[in-house]
């Protein structure tokens, strides 16, 4: 069975969501956030970066949530969370799956971190975030999700950052992404994961 090192209010919910969709149980090891919202020291004993999620599968240890999601669909032979290989949609999906952590997270955090501390979001950070949210709205298209009405890995990956933006009221002007969030929250895997491990974003 997969062991998941799951930090409270974290990207680990992405992994729980996919495992719920796949009907796969896991051994979840929980870590509470510190008073400064960091990971506790114990996570550094699991992986040198001290971040979550990390999974263990036999003698394999894998960090990086996108890699973990890809690993799990391959391990369990799932073909319902990615478009068919070789299609245009397959590569659009690959791009969006990597985009979340490689490009969007850093931009979103420049707005999320000050908002989280009750400070105003710098204009430049807000402008950059607006550009990315307009791009995401374009990718949602007719929606309700990125590839229609079935959550793909890229949707699961995007959900954590969107949850933080909603929690900090940073989506008010982006109605299409707000509607996307409403659709994500109806997904059975999202419901199962958050019922099991609590919300993605900390309470206000």
Q: Applying CB under 6 A, which residues contact ligand GSH?
A: 7, 10-11, 38-39, 51-53, 64-65, 101
Distance (Å, rounded) from C-alpha 190 to C-alpha 156? 8
For residue 142, the minimal CB distance to ligand GSH (Å) is 28
For residue 146, the minimal CB distance to ligand GSH (Å) is 18
**Residue nearer to ligand GSH on the CB measure, 53 or 189:** 53
Distance (Å, rounded) from C-alpha 172 to C-alpha 162? 12
**Residue nearer to ligand GSH on the CB measure, 49 or 134:** 49
For residue 24, the minimal CB distance to ligand GSH (Å) is 19
Angle between the 153-167 and 88-99 helix axes, to the nearest 10 degrees? Answer: 40
For residue 18, the minimal CB distance to ligand GSH (Å) is 13
For residue 34, the minimal CB distance to ligand GSH (Å) is 8
**Residue nearer to ligand GSH on the CB measure, 15 or 145:** 15
**Residue nearer to ligand GSH on the CB measure, 10 or 82:** 10
**Residue nearer to ligand GSH on the CB measure, 22 or 113:** 113
Burial of 198 (0-12, 13-18, 19+ CB in 10 A): middle
Nearest Cα neighbor of 64 from 100, 109, 116, 110 is 100
Cα torsion at 51, 192, 174, 91 (round to 10°)?
70
Distance (Å, rounded) from C-alpha 12 to C-alpha 40? 15
């Amino acid at each position: 069975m997969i062991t998941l090192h799951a930090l409270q209010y974290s990207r680990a919910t992405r992994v729980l969501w996919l495992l719920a969709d796949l009907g796969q149980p896991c051994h979840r090891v929980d870590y509470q956030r510190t008073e400064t919202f960091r990971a506790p020291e114990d996570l550094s004993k699991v992986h040198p970066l001290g971040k979550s999620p990390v999974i263990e599968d036999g003698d394999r240890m894998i960090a990086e949530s996108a890699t973990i999601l890809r690993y799990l669909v391959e391990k369990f032979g799932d073909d319902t969370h990615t478009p068919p290989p070789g299609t245009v949609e397959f590569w659009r999906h690959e791009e969006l799956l990597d985009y979340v952590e490689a490009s969007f997270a850093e931009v979103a955090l420049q707005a999320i971190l000050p908002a989280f501390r009750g400070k105003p979001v710098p204009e430049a950070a807000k402008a950059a975030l607006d550009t990315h949210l307009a791009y995401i709205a374009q990718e949602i298209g007719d929606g309700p999700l990125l590839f229609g009405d079935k959550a793909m890995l890229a949707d699961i990956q995007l959900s954590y950052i969107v949850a933080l933006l909603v929690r900090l009221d940073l989506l008010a002007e982006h109605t299409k992404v707000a509607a996307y969030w409403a659709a994500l929250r109806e997904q059975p895997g999202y419901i199962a994961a958050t019922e099991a491990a609590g919300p993605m974003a900390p309470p206000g």
